Homo-oligomer: A and B are copies of this chain.
Amino acid sequence: MASAANACSPSFSAANSSVSKPKALSDFYLRFRNINALSLRSKRVGLPVLSFSRIRSPRISASSPQVMDQSVGEASSKAPTIVEVDLGNRSYPIYIGSGLLDQPELLQRHVHGKRVLVVTNNTVAPLYLDKVVDALTRGNPNVSVDSVILPDGEKYKNMETLMKVFDKAIESRLDRRCTFVALGGGVIGDMCGFAAAAFLRGVNFIQIPTTVMAQVDSSVGGKTGINHPLGKNLIGAFYQPQCVLIDTDTLNTLPDRELASGLAEVIKYGLIRDAGFFEWQEKNMPKLMARDPSAMAYAIKRSCENKAEVVSLDEKESGLRATLNLGHGCRHVIPPWLD
């Protein structure tokens, strides 16, 4: 654990009692030794150091009651859990569950107009593009779907690649009533979202995130954008989707290192603002590591709720929301022992 002291490692170790800064998280140590031995421990029962109260906004609601105990939760394999992100006239639902891409009505109710552009990458397209096109068009022959397949990777999150989305949309003669669908991880979500924000000054947008990181982070808050050669996410927009559809089955094809990166983000929500969730994680980490659909759905739901609460209070990140950036400088740093 030589890297435990590295600020960009997903390992924390601290001894004092302050919880105001991540480097001073007392009584906790959290280790990513390897993907099969992720441990999350509290030396004290009841997580007393997470004494700051969880902010519960009445504007965030899930379709089923919160489960604060140690059970996996309420997510079933078919009926989606719904987290409502309340942002006035920009509100939208997040559907979470197993097999949701086999329920076309979930997507179709949010498609405006008759034209759809699916934006994905060359890793995800072979796995899920046909399934998504089917979900968009089954029993709905009036809708036509175009797609643009971008190269996979953070290094392509730039203006040159973004222009390929505009090129495709314009060549396809899409109008303001079209819908852009982001199918992929955070890079695809950020690029497709910004393209949707800027194409004809704004068209409808749906997210289908296929990584845990995108599901618990990018799917809430409307941050979209691209990188500039001198910095990440310097060009973009705050732009909210019509809905987010999280089919936990897509996680079955997620590489281990991507799973670990996403679970670190899940753990963060427990660490910084939700003691009950942190305790639940402690008990259920083996199920999360095994990609148990119900456990994953519950962890994603609670993460989304936490983020949605913050975002609904501070949509444009003028203060409180910035606390969620903890660890974001680290998200692309994977310990070498996971390679």
Shortest distance in angstroms between A328's beta carbon and chain B's nearest beta carbon? 15
Is the pair B228, A197 in contact by a Cβ cutoff of 8 Å? no
Contact with B along A220-249 (1 / 0, CB 8 A): 000111001011001111100000000000
Contact of A171 among B170, B194, B230 (CB under 8 A): B230
Interface check A198, CB cutoff 8 A: yes
Interface status of A202 (Cβ within 8 A of chain B): yes
CA distance A324 to B228 in the complex (A): 36
**Interface residue tally for chain A (C-beta within 8 Å):** 25
Least CB distance from A4 to B in Å reads 32
Q: Are A199 and B234 in contact (CB under 8 A)?
A: yes
A44 to chain B, nearest CB (A): 39
Within 92-134 of A, Cβ neighbours of B (below 8 Å) are at none
A234 touches B202 (CB 8 A): no
Do residues B170 and A201 form an inter-chain contact, with CB atoms below 8 A? no
Q: Does A156 contact B (CB under 8 A)?
A: no
* A170 lies within 8 A of B230 (CB): yes
Q: Are A237 and B201 in contact (CB under 8 A)?
A: yes
If A198-B235, A199-B234, A201-B236 are given as contacts, then 4 extra A-B residue pairs at C-beta distance below 8 Å, sorted by A number, are A170-B228, A199-B235, A201-B223, A201-B225
Which residues of chain A have a CB within 8 Å of any CB of chain B? Answer: 159, 163, 166-167, 170-171, 194, 197-202, 223-225, 228, 230-231, 234-238, 316
